[in-house]
Amino acid sequence: MTIALNATHDPKLRSWVASANEAGTDFPIQNLPFGRFRTAGSNEAFRIGVAIGDQVLDLKAAGLVDTDDMNALMSASVKDRQALRAAISAGLAEGSDKQAAWSKALLAQFKAEMTVPCRIGDYTDFYTGIHHATTIGKLFRPDQPLMPNYKWVPIGYHGRASSIGVSGQVFKRPQGQTKAPDAVEPSFGPSKRLDYELELGFLVGRGNALGEPIAIGDAEDHLFGVTLLNDWSARDLQAWEYQPLGPFLAKNFASTLSPWIVTMEALAPFRAKFERPAEDPQPLPYLDAPSNREAGALDITLEVLLQTAKMRAEGIAPARLTRGNTTEAAYWTAAQLITHHTVNGCNLQPGDLLGSGTLSGPTPDAAGSLMELTLGGKQQITLPNGEKRTFLEDGDTLVMRGYCERAGAVRIGLGEVSGTVAG
């Protein structure tokens, strides 16, 4: 299903929350992403909120929901989700009779403590970034960068949900086995090639019964929304462990999400055609549908920034490393990932997370990892203050941002996801 534009997308729509009308805000009234929050420093239960400008609207306090369970909200039908969005939009719009009451249900975002936006039961990480896969493949297999199955099947592996944290996550440098090319035996110690991976996270809404696959034409009915995801990676641990079963300790020590889920309804103005190069294999019939070809792709600009400990101490803002767009990066759509995940009868559940895999563009300035940007550590990058990096060092903070811009629509953002290597 492709969601049609409606009154909630009207570019002329303005909110009585003044900050939502400011140019460049991630959270205008046309966005309305969901998250879980509580007052910072309190022991309150986390509750469901919607970002509007620099505020959070408490949906329960506003009388819009009767639950604090985000997963229950996510499992609602598309019709019910759209009705809730319409009610939130109408109540936050200029001239609404809800302003007096709902003003009491607002909390400034800087006063809020955020947590992961929903309860994540399972996490599957895919490998949809063809430029990332090709560049990484060339480092290890110059004669065959892509494996024969890559253009036929969405490649994925099951990750670890327990170590997923929210933006602001601070984690210890992972330890494990590594093996130098000229060493007889592996050694044990901290990773020396710690990296980030720029990804989107697709969060499942309504699930499916075990044994009941989700058809490609119905797949987006089961997709609640999108968030930013940093899937941290220890490249030296990964190189030694990944054969024959794939990533393990190199990936499961930390993954970081933005606190906000931008809904598929909010993304409706920013859809794009899904087109394969004519010389490439076209998707098998179960992964193909007119709706997916017409508007299965998402048009999202993604940025990566780095702030070292020294930069932070000196008050220097994070420096941008790369900027790219998902339309150039992803070889498979979110609908195809959901359909392939369930084609064997696997049951998805509300809150399940599907990672896109690293979304790199075709040029180095759109790379989604340091592994690509430094050609496997062979080429240092120099930051504006003169510091150099091949991989992440202790005290480094990595920041990812995403936003959508298109003529005739109001810019919306995915917020920000940041994480810091503690050492």
Q: List pLDDT tens digits, range 261-317.
A: 999 999 999 999 999 999 999 999 999 999 999 999 999 999 999 999 999 999 999
| 138 burial level (CB within 10 Å; 0-12, 13-18, 19+) | middle
| pLDDT at res. 2 | 64
- Examine the residue annotation and report whether 132 is marked as an active-site residue of this protein: yes
Mean pLDDT of 351-363: 97
Domain 7-115: what homologous superfamily? Fumarylacetoacetase, N-terminal domain (2.30.30.230)
Strand partners, 22: none
* Closest C-alpha to 189, from 208, 199, 176, 180: 176
Domain spanning 123-421 has what CATH number? 3.90.850.10
Q: Is the pLDDT of residue 252 over 60?
A: yes
User: Rounded to 5 degrees, what are φ and ψ at 35?
Assistant: -155, 180
Tell me how many degrees the CA angle 208-212-217 measures, rounded to the nearest 5.
Answer: 75
Both tokens of 365, joined, read 């300035």
What distance, in Å, lies between the first and last C-alpha atoms of the chain?
Answer: 46
pTM equals 0.97
Pairwise CA distance, residues 151 & 337, whole Å: 13
Ranges of CATH 2.30.30.230 domains, the chain: 7-115
Q: Which of 132, 222, 340, 341 is catalytic?
A: 132
> Are 118 and 351 contacting, i.e. CB atoms less than 8 angstroms apart?
yes
Q: Is the pLDDT of residue 192 over 90?
A: yes
Ranges of CATH 3.90.850.10 domains, the chain: 123-421
* Tens digit of each residue's pLDDT (9 = 90 or more) over 397-408: 999 999 999 999
DSSP state, 261?
B
3-state secondary structure of 199: strand
* Tens digit of each residue's pLDDT (9 = 90 or more) over 124-181: 999 999 999 999 988 888 888 999 999 999 999 999 999 999 999 999 999 999 999 9
